[in-house]
Structures are given as C-alpha cells and as structure tokens.
Structure 1
C-alpha cells in the first residue's frame, strides 16, 4: 500500500490552469482568487469567490478525481474518516475546523498526456446543505462514526438502508489498498443535484 498524496498534489497543480480558465469564463458575477496560504488550505479553502457587487465571499474547497483520468464516473467520494498513526481521524466532510462553504467537485478529467489536462466537469456542492440533508435522513457524523467503529475491519462496498445503493450512494471502506485506510461516503452526482444541494457548473 502507498499514499497517493504527493502524486495527487502534482496533478492538482497542473489542473489549476484549466480550472481557472473555466472559472474566469463562467463566474461573471464573481471575482475568484486561488489561495496559496498553507494554513487556509488546511482549513478547506482552495479558492475565494467574491461577489463583484455585494463583496460577499465564499470559501471553496476543490476536490478532483485524479485517480480516474480519462474516465467518466457518476459518483464522488466524500471523506468521513481516515487513519493516521494508528488512530482514526475526522475526514473533511464533517470536520468542524474546515471553513468550506462549497465543494468544487472536478470529475470526468481528460488529458492528452499526463502533463496537459484538456477538459473536465465541475459540480458545486453546498457543504452545509449536504450535511443538513444527511443528518435529516439519519446519517449524522455520530451515526457514521458508529458504523465505522462497528465495522472497523470491513473492506469494500457497504450498503446503507438510508440510501438507494444504485441511485443515491453507499459507504466504501478502503482497509486493504490505501495507507490512510479511508472510509468514504460515495454519492451519485445526479442525486446531489436532484436533492438540491449541488449544481452542475460545467
């Protein structure tokens, strides 16, 4: 098992120019600024969108499917927990230290070669609305932690009775193939749009 962190970071930097081009073309009412401060990035802020008239700012965390270049996936993985130093840590979705207002989910990433990304899709997700929805159907941070503890040795796809596995989502335990052993909530992008917590950007 190995961590993909360094490789993903390199790919993310190469992807930025394509993403910034999409933002510049389609965010007519907003000015955007990419954040370089490490402390702010650790708080879940990759971009700041500032409304040109009102001055209201929104913090955006970019999440890209960099393990699936030249593939079109209908789902996205939301990190619930991961292991570090033998202990379970809070993933970014429910992490109260994150200041994220929106996730910019980057999917269907296509590249001519590994150094040049040519196109992608972007879906914006309202973090607060998503968390509220999950809580409303009985999938709170506490409930998901309970499931994680009860099935600590499980690996693979785990069905939830609160979600339709084919149309909505499920859990996935990566106990055997990743160093961080993450537990992710896999959700269908169309489902997120359907329930009103997300909107397709490009």
Structure 2
C-alpha cells in the first residue's frame, strides 16, 4: 500500500511538471503559478493565473483523467458526492466553500511508457457559467444534492430531466465498484464547448 501511494505521488509530480510545460507553451496573456499550500489546494486551487495586462487573478482547479491513460474519452465526471468513513461528503463540484473560478480538465492523456507523458487535451471550464447553465435547465445544486441523498443504494446511470443523456449528460452512481461510492454528473465535452462554458487550450 505504501509503495502504491509513493508511486501515485511520484506520478502526480511528473504529470504536474509535464502540464506546466504545456501551459508555458500555450498561455499568451497569462502567467501562472502552481500552488504548494495544502489549505489552498483543499479549497480547489491548484494554480493561479494572472493576466499580464490587467493583473486579474483566477483560481484554477486541475482535474485529470489519469485513470484513463492512452484513452480519449468524450465525457468528464463532475463529482457531486462521495463516502468517507461511512459518511456521505459533498463533492468538489457542489462544495460552496471552493474558491475555484475555472476547472482545467485534462483528458486524452497519452504516455509512451510508464509515467512518460507525451500529449494531452486541456479544456478550461468556467465554473460559475456551468452552474448557471445547469440552473437554467432546472438542475440546481439543491436538486443534485437531493437526488444523491435519495438514492443510497442505486448503482448505474440516471437520466436527468431537461438533459439529453446521449448528447449532453446524466448522473452516474458508482455504489458497487468504487470504495468511495461517488455520484458524478457526467457531461459531454462537446456540450461544454457548444454552450460557451468550455474552451480547449490544446
């Protein structure tokens, strides 16, 4: 177990270094700084982006599909809740205490060999705009929390009213196959682009 933990930390450090190189190549109008403060990270801040002209600062939360190496998924999972020590906790997407302005969604991560990363896709998602879009569809924070609490034993896909499950998104309950039993809002990346809340960096 300790070995796996150390391996995971080592992989995360290598991947962070790889991502910093990607940001450096692609960001024209912003400087960036990676956060080392644990308290800030717990508040949903992995990076800060600062506009070079205006000085505006944005808090970025990185979310990477490292469990799906060498695969390019068309969707991304936004965590609504999970279990810890037998108690249900609020996931990062619904946590009102998070300072996150944008998510940096890292998908399509490819590696030639173990921990030797070669390419990835990076999509920036405006957190407030995404929540506003869901609210306009009647998918409020309160409704999502109610659904996750009302189905303690449900496992699998659940369709949401006003969201096309094939082309837009749905809920997925992982009650049986994951220790933390997360409930995620699965959204198509193409939806995020089409409604103007997501933008591909690379």
Structure 2 residue 109 is matched with structure 1 residue 109: yes
- CA-to-partner distance for each residue in 1:97-119, whole Å, 9 max, x for gaps? 11000000000000011221100
Q: Distance in 1 between matches of 2:9 and 2:190?
A: 27
Indicate whether 1:180 and 2:160 are aligned.
Answer: no
Q: How does 1:155-194 map to 2 (within 5 A)?
A: 155-194=155-194
* 2:120 paired residue number: 120
**Structure 1 range deviating more: 13-22 or 192-201:** 13-22
Matched, 1:42 2:6: no
Distance 1:89 1:8 in 2: 23
Distance of 1:48 and 1:168 partners within structure 2: 30
Cα shift at 1:7: 6.0
Q: For 1:43-192, list aligned pairs within 5 A.
A: 43-192=43-192
Q: Note the alpha carbon deviations across 1:144-177, whole angstroms, 9 max, x for none.
A: 1111122221111111122111100011101011
The SS at the match of 2:164 is coil
When structure 1 is superposed on structure 2, of 107-116 and 150-159 the one drifting more is: 150-159
Q: Is the 8 A contact 1:30 1:49 kept in 2?
A: yes
TM-score by length of 1: 0.94
Distance 1:11 1:45, change over 3 A: same
Of 81-90 and 59-68, deviating more is: 81-90
- Quote the residue 1:23 is aligned against: 23
Aligned counterparts of 2:10 and 2:163: Cα–Cα separation in 1: 35
- Tell me which of the two structures has the higher relative contact order, counting C-alpha pairs closer than 8 angstroms and 6 or more residues apart: 1
Query: SS state of the match for residue 24, structure 2?
Result: helix
Shift of 1:180: 0.9
How many residue pairs are counted as aligned between the two chains? 199
Moved more, 158-167 or 45-54: 158-167
- Structure 1 residue runs without a partner (length 5+): none
Give 1:9 deviation, angstroms: 4.4
Runs of 4+ in 1 over 2 A off after TM superposition: 4-12
How far residue 42 of structure 1 moved from its aligned partner, in angstroms, is 0.4
Query: Contact between 1:77 and 1:184, CA under 8 Å: does it hold in 2?
Result: yes
What's the RMSD between the two structures over aligned residues?
Answer: 1.5
